């Protein structure tokens, strides 16, 4: 996979893209990463990428011409990238989006700054992504969040291929639930003991316990995920009871 980012602060990416799992996957050739400086597509002495908004208002906006030229030039290197713009007005980012983005041969992450972009720049976007209902100073952190979530899904990026399947929100085996609770040594810490069943060595019982725990944790902390989760009819009945217990009679999993 090839991941490109275009930004006025391209130097922000390298430490993240060369550290830990991402760095290892990159060195192993699982993905290429290129950070491009938007100012390379300006034509004035000051390398200007922003200007005042028409109609007045606070702050500066990113100009459309450098963004358009950058995207066209990067795309022309081929293969044509799937172009993602970051904005608080985009679709909320989630694991299913990461799974879809991981299937593209090449993605181009376009990072905003200042008060955002001239609206006409979005004509060059294949999609707009928000990483949450809050406002950051720039699109670089959102781009790194998305890149990290995508890269760890690439085959071979994590040592153990199964570790992606078990994780929270995974649309594979666990059907969109939160992950079950996990423990490591010691078996007892202060007065907190690891559940006996996890020490039993009985894999079938451990699997059943973890599945039930994943459902319980999801009902407790993210009941909004239960409707879309893959559950058996018996599990759905239990989920209804748990949601009622944790959130009261007024709250159903559809709220």
Order of strands across the sheet with 127-130?
A: 32-37, 2-7, 106-110, 82-92, 127-130
In angstroms, give the least distance from the CB of 127 to ligand SAM: 12
Q: Minimum Å distance from CB 91 to ligand SAM? A: 10
* Closer by beta carbon to ligand SAM, 70 or else 177: 70
CB of 115 to ligand SAM, least distance (A): 5
Rounded Cα distance between 149 and 145, Å, is 6
Least Å from the CB of residue 224 to ligand SAM: 19
Q: Check if the beta carbon of residue 246 is closer than 8 Å to that of residue 226.
A: no
Q: Cβ of residue 150: shortest distance to ligand SAM, in angstroms?
A: 15
Radius of gyration (Cα) for the chain, nearest Å? Answer: 22
Q: Which residues pair with 37 in a beta bridge?
A: 7
State the Cα–Cα distance between residues 116 and 50, nearest whole angstrom: 9
- Using Cβ positions, the residue closest to ligand SAM within the complex turns out to be 112
Q: What is the DSSP letter of 117?
A: B
Q: Residues in the site for ligand SAM, rule: CB under 6 A?
A: 86-89, 111-113, 115-117, 130-132, 134-139, 142
The DSSP code sequence of 38-62 is GGGG--STT---EEPPTT--SS-EE
Contacts of 55 (CB under 8 A, 6+ apart): none
């Amino acid at each position: 996979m090839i991941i490109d980012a275009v930004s006025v602060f391209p130097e922000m990416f390298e430490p993240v893209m060369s550290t830990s799992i991402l760095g290892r996957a990159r060195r192993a050739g699982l993905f290429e990463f290129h950070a491009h400086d938007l100012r390379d597509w300006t034509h004035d002495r000051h390398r200007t990428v922003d200007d005042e908004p028409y109609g007045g208002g606070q702050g500066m906006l990113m100009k459309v011409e450098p963004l358009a030229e950058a995207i066209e030039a990067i795309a022309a290197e081929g293969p044509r990238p799937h172009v993602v713009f970051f904005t608080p007005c985009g679709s909320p980012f989630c694991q299913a989006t990461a799974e879809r983005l991981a299937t593209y041969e090449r993605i181009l992450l376009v990072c905003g700054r200042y008060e955002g972009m001239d609206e006409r720049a979005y004509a060059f976007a294949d999609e707009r992504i928000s990483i949450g209902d809050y406002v950051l100073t720039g699109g670089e952190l959102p781009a790194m969040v998305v890149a990290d979530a995508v890269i760890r899904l690439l085959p071979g990026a994590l040592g153990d291929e199964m570790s992606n399947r078990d994780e929270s929100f995974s649309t594979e085996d666990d059907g969109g639930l939160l992950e079950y609770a996990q423990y490591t040594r010691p078996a007892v810490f202060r007065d907190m003991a690891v559940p006996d069943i996890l020490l039993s060595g009985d894999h079938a019982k451990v699997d059943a316990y973890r599945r039930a725990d994943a459902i319980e944790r999801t009902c407790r902390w993210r009941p909004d995920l239960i409707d879309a989760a893959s559950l058996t009819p018996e599990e759905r009945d239990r989920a209804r009871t748990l949601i009622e217990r944790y959130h009261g009679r007024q709250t159903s999993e559809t709220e």
